[in-house]
Structure 1
Amino acid sequence: MNKIKEIQEEIVDEFSMFDDWMQRYEYMIELGKSLPLIEEKYKVEENLIKGCQSKVWVHAELEDEKLVFTADSDAIITKGIVAILIRAFSNQHPSEILEADTQFIDEIGLKEHLSPTRANGLVSMIKQLKMYAIAYQTQLD
């Protein structure tokens, strides 16, 4: 099993410990607080995720052939959502990010418990992380 899948399973296990969605939202807020913050110089228009209701900045750098993501958001729930994605995909090889599925999002029930605009934002965040992976994979080829 690859590392991304293992991390995703850990996330699913963590979310399954909570009985209701209020507890899960509180947990996502906590995850957001632990997010590796993006440097202020990367909080620029080109790093904003298009299609998000809130402002979400994501920056990627290649370190030892692995993509390292940092991010921030002006909304606490959204910050938690991007923290979950970054936990799953940061410090991974671009090809592994491209091959990874996002089924774990459905397994924790995240999409169905988000407003339609936040669910669209989630999809946009995933697309942006995959776009970074494509761009950096091209550099490695």
Structure 2
Amino acid sequence: MDLQRLIDTFNFLDNWEDRYRLLIDMGRELPALPDEARVEANRVDGCTSNVWLETTVSDETPPRMHFTADSDAFIVKGLVAILLKAYSGKTPQEILDTDIESLFDDLGLSQQLTANRRDGFVAMVKQVRNRAQAIQSGGTAATAD
């Protein structure tokens, strides 16, 4: 499901119970993150729940960044799925140019999520953007955190 289709689906659903169910289902569809990726270096600081974010960078020019991630909380795992849809497979510049706040608003998430979940999402976005900035500057994604 691409981002526009996701926005359309969220807007089609009548109530937040259905939207939360969709978020949870999206999280369940994420591929499993291997245990060896669940290390402190991949843990996202600023999230109440545990969230791990692993980054790989292609050898293409410009490079493309691919993310895998997981969380131990159902709704947060759905937010992780949205984050991956927005950023994975993009170049560092495309990541830096993505207006994730607008997407968050278009999905209606800014009004419906608790402050802790919003803050956690912001922390995930910050980590992705920091890694993109590091690659853009000629560094590695591992040096960005």
TM-score by length of 1: 0.89
Q: Does 1:43 align with 2:38?
A: yes
Q: Is the 8 Å Cα contact of residues 38 and 58 (structure 1) preserved in structure 2?
A: no
1:53-101 deviation digits (Å, cap 9, x = unpaired): 1000001110231100000100010000011110111001111000111
Match of 1:3 in 2: none
RMSD: 1.3
Q: Determine the structure 1 residue equivalent to 2:130.
A: 131
Match of 1:96 among 88, 91, 94: 94
- Residue 56, structure 1, aligned to residue 14, structure 2: no
Matched, 1:116 2:129: no
Q: SS of the residue aligned with 1:61? A: strand
SS of the residue corresponding to residue 139 of structure 1 reads coil
Structure 1, unaligned stretches of length 5 or more?
1-6
**1:23 partner amino acid:** D
Deviation string 1:37-65 (CA, Å, 9 cap, x unpaired) is 32221111121111111000001110231
TM-score normalised per structure 2: 0.87
Alpha-carbon deviations, 1:1-50, whole Å to 9, x = none? xxxxxx43222112112100000000001100111332221111121111
Unaligned runs of 5+ in 2: 140-145
The share of aligned pairs that are identical, in percent, is: 39
Higher RCO (C-alpha under 8 Å, 6+ residues apart): 1
Give distance in 1, aligned partners of 2:54 and 2:33. Answer: 7
For residue 83 of structure 2, the aligned residue among 63, 82, 85 is 85
